[in-house]
Amino acid sequence: MASEKVETVIAGNYLEMEREEGDSKSAKGKLSKLFWHGGSVYDAWFSCASNQVAQVLLTLPYSFSQLGMLSGILFQLFYGLMGSWTAYLISVLYVEYRTRKEREKVDFRNHVIQWFEVLDALLGKHWRNVGLFFNCTFLLFGSVIQLIACASNIYYINDNLDKRTWTYIFGACCATTVFIPSFHNYRIWSFLGLMMTTYTAWYLTIASLLHGQVEGVKHSGPAKIVLYFTGATNILYTFGGHAVTVEIMHAMWKPQKFKLIYLIATLYVLTLTLPSASAVYWAFGDMLLTHSNALSLLPKTGFRDAAVILMLIHQFITFGFACTPLYFVWEKFIRVHDTKSLFKRAIARLPVVIPIWFLAIIFPFFGPINSTVGSLLVSFTVYIIPALAHMVTFASASARENAVERPPSFLGGWAGSYTMNIFVVVWVFVVGFGFGGWASMLNFIRQVDTFGLFTKCYQCPPHKA
């Protein structure tokens, strides 16, 4: 019976996409399919990997200086696996929801399914409200972080303008993402984005090794418990990029195939984050404690400028990834989500960008803001809520019996699944939200006290500010 349900999901979603694309054999149709219409397993993999490692790549060496080399490596491996598990849980709940709705003949042709709708259908309005609050707030600040990162990076190429002015400029540039309809249309951008972060990661690694250790380099981390948990929470944030899992799955022709995509994407991301963070920390040590952007310590060369430019483009793409689900929520709120006019939807989306722009100007603290968002928002959005939702959804024997997707037998079936879920909830609540929230808020408040809100040029050399 379960396999028949799965087939319903696959066939229904595939036909939906086929209706959208049509059978155009024209040159324009072929180009559109190549660059614009993506719904394959590979598109989903590129989207997950590209979205997971963006500007945070530049702050991981900063986290290593807070944690020390060993803890930095272990936390990356640990949270990478934990993030892959909760992304799997989200995919299971999506397929469960989709199957039930398609059995009721619900048509999703002009409707993008979102996480809060999955929670609403499976668990009720209170779960929906909590999920909507955490998801939207996290994605809002995720978009803010991309804007802050744009200003922080471009400053290393052109310091004639301060970082606040660059934030104004890039806010206007990122607003153009309102014209990208959905994750189905990120095919070329996801591919390019991952190539860009791959270049930047290996540039950081090779440039740091060639530079060698600075004179008198010190590796004193972990020195303070506040910094230790701040660094750990930034890594929690790094592997918490699956707040857009449902939207990426909905863009797939066969969403049932998503199960292992996030894990494979995470394994690739680790080949970028572990060498780059380790190499930069090895070369510069404790200097990173006051340089949250790793690019600021490397000498100005053509290779570094290329890395900055590629990261800027990638941050534009990641801004779109974080903001698109917010666009969908806003469209549904003002009842324009079902309209087929791209222009009307784009105009309706513009008000979403304004608060993001404003918050990026108030809190330009590149680095510390990642840990704060990680502890207070990511901990619940993509770790605690999915684990709890999975346990409650399948709490009854009948729900487990009729589940579309059963837990893997090699993990111990339902008992193993519940054990892992309980561990995730307790660990993330105590270590991520509890200790991490305390440490990252203390660090964040220290940045406000030192630099002030609306600071024109965060962590700029005194003579440039």
CB distance 285 to 65 below 8 Å: yes
C-alpha span between 434 and 438 (Å, rounded): 6
pLDDT per position as a tens digit, 176-193: 888 988 888 888 888 999
List all residues 6 or more positions away from 299 whose beta carbon is below 8 Å from its beta carbon.
211
Q: Considering only CA atoms, which of 57, 115, 62, 118 is closest in space to residue 230?
A: 62
Q: What is the DSSP letter of 384?
A: I
Residues with Cβ within 8 Å of 235's Cβ and at least 6 positions away in sequence, in order, are: 60, 63, 67, 72, 75, 76, 79
pLDDT at position 456 is 58
Eight-state DSSP code of residue 376:
I
Mean pLDDT of 3-32: 46
Q: In the structure, what pLDDT confidence band is assigned to residue 301 with cuts at 50, 70 and 90? A: very high
pLDDT of residue 251: 85
Report the C-alpha gap between 162 and 29 in whole angstroms: 44
Q: Which pLDDT belongs to residue 21?
A: 43
Quote the longest CA-to-CA distance of the chain. 70
| Token reading at 378 | 């990511």
Q: Residue 365: how many CA atoms within 13 Å on its side-chain side?
A: 23
> What tokens appear for 30 in the block?
């072929």
pLDDT 10s digits, 189-247: 889 999 999 999 999 999 999 999 999 889 987 888 888 988 888 898 888 878 888 98
pLDDT digits (tens, 9 = 90+) for 101-111: 888 888 777 78
State pLDDT tens for residues 329-341: 999 999 888 888 8
Question: Residue 351: its pLDDT value, please?
Answer: 93
Distance CA 330, CA 33 (A): 28
**Could you tell me which of 371, 441, 450, 358 has the C-alpha nearest to residue 148?**
358
CB 239 within 8 A of CB 382: no
Q: Strand, coil or helix: what is 266?
A: helix
Q: Using the predicted structure, report yes or no on whether residue 347 has a pLDDT greater than 60.
A: yes
Task: Find, among 258, 249, 322, the residue nearest to 56 by Cα.
Answer: 322
Of 134, 78, 53, nearest to 325 by C-alpha is 134
* Tally of CB atoms within 10 A around 421: 21
Assign 2 a pLDDT band (cuts: 50, 70, 90).
Answer: very low
Q: How high is the mean pLDDT of the chain?
A: 84
Is the model more confident about 68 or about 362?
Answer: 68
Per-residue model confidence (pLDDT) at position 464: 44
CA atoms in the 13 A half-sphere facing the CB of 264: 11
Distance CA 167, CA 458 (A): 12
- Among 62, 306, 292, residue whose Cα is nearest residue 163: 292
Question: Can you give the pLDDT at residue 65?
Answer: 94
> pLDDT by residue (tens digit) across 405-433?
899 888 899 999 999 999 999 999 999 89
Instruction: Provide φ and ψ at 36, rounded to 5°.
Output: -115, -40
- The alpha-helical segments, DSSP class H, found in 285-374 are 302-333, 342-362, 368-373
Q: Which pLDDT band, with edges at 50, 70 and 90, does 5 fall under?
A: very low
Report long-range pairs for 268-273 (Cβ below 8 Å, ≥24 apart).
268/49, 269/49, 269/52, 269/53, 269/80, 269/239, 270/76, 270/77, 270/80, 272/53, 272/57, 272/197, 272/198, 272/201, 272/202, 273/53, 273/57, 273/60, 273/76, 273/201, 273/238
Q: What is the reported pLDDT for 162? A: 76
Kindly state the helix (H) or strand (E) to which residue 268 belongs, with its residue range: helix 261-284
Instruction: Please state the length of the chain.
Output: 465
pLDDT band for position 75 (50/70/90)? very high
Q: Specify the pLDDT at position 147.
A: 85
Structure confidence at residue 27 (pLDDT): 60
CB neighbour class for 398 (10 Å; exposed up to 12, middle 13-18, buried from 19): exposed
- Show the DSSP H helices in 114-186 as ranges: 115-123, 125-154, 163-174
